[in-house]
Amino acid sequence: MITEDAERVLESHNLCDHCLGRLFAKLGKGTNEERGRAIRFVINMERSAKGLPPVDEPAECELCWNVFERVPELVERMREASEGFEFETFFVGSRFPEEIREREKAIWEEFGIETAEPINREFNRELGKAFGRVMGKDTAKNPDVVFIVEPFSGKVELQINPVYVYGRYRKLVRGIPQTPLPDFEDSVASIICRAFSRVSGGKCIFKGAGREDVDVRTLGNGRPFIVEMKRPKKRRFDLDVVAREINASGKVEVLGLRFVSPKEAGEVLTRNHRKEYLALVLVEEGVTPEEAEEVARKLTGLEIHQRTPWRVRNARADKVRVKKVHEAEARWIDDRHFELRLVTDGGLYIKELVSGDRGRTRPSVSELLGKPAWCERLDVLNVLDH
């Protein structure tokens, strides 16, 4: 049946071995060109036995216009397009004229062919194999780079997939924002991204798992973050060297840098982290050691109903969030100060937990004390994964 169907097709259409073999791509193993050559060979043996002339491969295929002969030229164009970019894995896609795809489908329908594959699928595979041989690279489902090739115009579009690095940062000083702001020379993001941009040659995008205020330090195990390098020229570089450059700033320190997948990067940023804080509380009307201890006792395990703080109301949706204080410990310092160590759900605003924020956060330290209290100084001690 295969040779009968193939002979019927060849009596009406001048097809190359690639396009002939592709009609039966789902049968047997090997390339479509090998399949087509074998089918043509058997057909011509049978025709010879019948005294009929052979059906030779045409000088020009009416379906693909001999596009597979352009593979070596296109491999060279792909090599030129990717010059200067480091990559180990790649994927090939192509854009074929609609006219060719419609003509191919018409042949399938005309002869009831149900074992074929589309021309672009074969072309992508063969071009990929040829490029991989020349460059010593491998194809992959999640590749470093993607080539989109227009076979007839010869245009090659190169998509460079980002590189993602996970780490945790400590902000060792007060007075710098997490991301760039007017009137601030530096930020956590700019200090980190300068080093990554230098080694990767790409554009660095910084994404923190939460954020702290300008006047808040982040200490302990640090805050998780992801950097995304867009269109990097280098994809593999020494992260220890990057860490040393960042840490030399004296303002920001990074820990545990490692390359991660896009999926893992997304999970880091969407995970809900508990936070451990150390707040210096000011009570201008005075506070006793017993009052400080009582506040900590009442806060432990307490649910806090916090309406979006007044100071960020223009940047955040105005709604009430319910967060929990998991642990609270107090250390009395003097008649007007005590320290409060807190472990809370992520997203709880600590300054407002202390002050009450004009009644927008309830209960608050001020409410529990029965007198106004303020957060004079705040540090993030740890960002907890659970």
Domain count, the chain: 3
Same domain, 29 and 142: yes
The CATH number given to whatever domain includes residue 189 is: 3.30.70.2510
Q: Return the closest-CA partner of residue 91 out of 25, 150, 159, 30.
A: 159
Helix (H, G, I), strand (E, B) or coil at 227: strand
Q: Are residues 32 and 107 in the same domain?
A: yes
365/307 same-domain check: yes
- Are 156 and 7 in the same domain? yes
Per-residue pLDDT tens over the stretch 112-134: 999 999 999 999 999 999 999 99
- Clarify whether residues 55 and 127 are in a common domain: yes
- CATH for 130: 3.30.2300.10
Contacts with 27 (C-beta within 8 Å, 6 or more apart), sequence order: 2, 35, 115
Q: Judge whether 349 is annotated as a binding position.
A: yes
Q: Give yes or no: residues 6 and 151 share one domain.
A: yes
The pLDDT value given to residue 3: 93
**CB atoms near residue 120 (< 10 Å):** 18
Residues 207, 236, single domain; the answer is yes
Q: Is 166 annotated as belonging to a binding site?
A: no
Q: Are residues 285 and 150 both part of a single domain? A: no
Known catalytic residues are 213
pLDDT digits (tens, 9 = 90+) for 148-175: 999 999 999 999 999 999 999 999 999 9
CATH of the domain at 375: 3.30.70.3190
Final residue before a domain boundary, out of 120, 141, 160? 160
Last-in-domain residue among 106, 126, 160: 160
**Preceding omega of 58 cis (within 30 degrees of 0):** no
- The helix/strand/coil state of 34 is helix
Do 118 and 197 lie in one domain? The reply is no
User: What pTM does this model have?
Assistant: 0.86
Same domain for 237 and 284, yes or no, is no
What residues in the chain have per-residue pLDDT under 50? none
H or E stretch at 110 = helix 98-111
pLDDT at 141: 87
In this structure, are 241 and 314 located in the same domain? Answer: no
β-bridge mates for residue 103, sequence order: none
196 vs 203: CA distance, rounded Å: 9
For residue 272, the model assigns a pLDDT of 83
Q: Which of 115, 131, 160 marks a domain boundary?
A: 160
Q: How far is Cα 141 from Cα 250, in angstroms, rounded to an integer?
A: 41
Residues 11 and 153 in one domain: yes
Q: How far is CA 350 from the centre of its chain?
A: 31
- Digit-coded pLDDT (tens) for 215-231: 999 999 999 999 999 99
In terms of residue numbers, what domain contains 98? 2-160
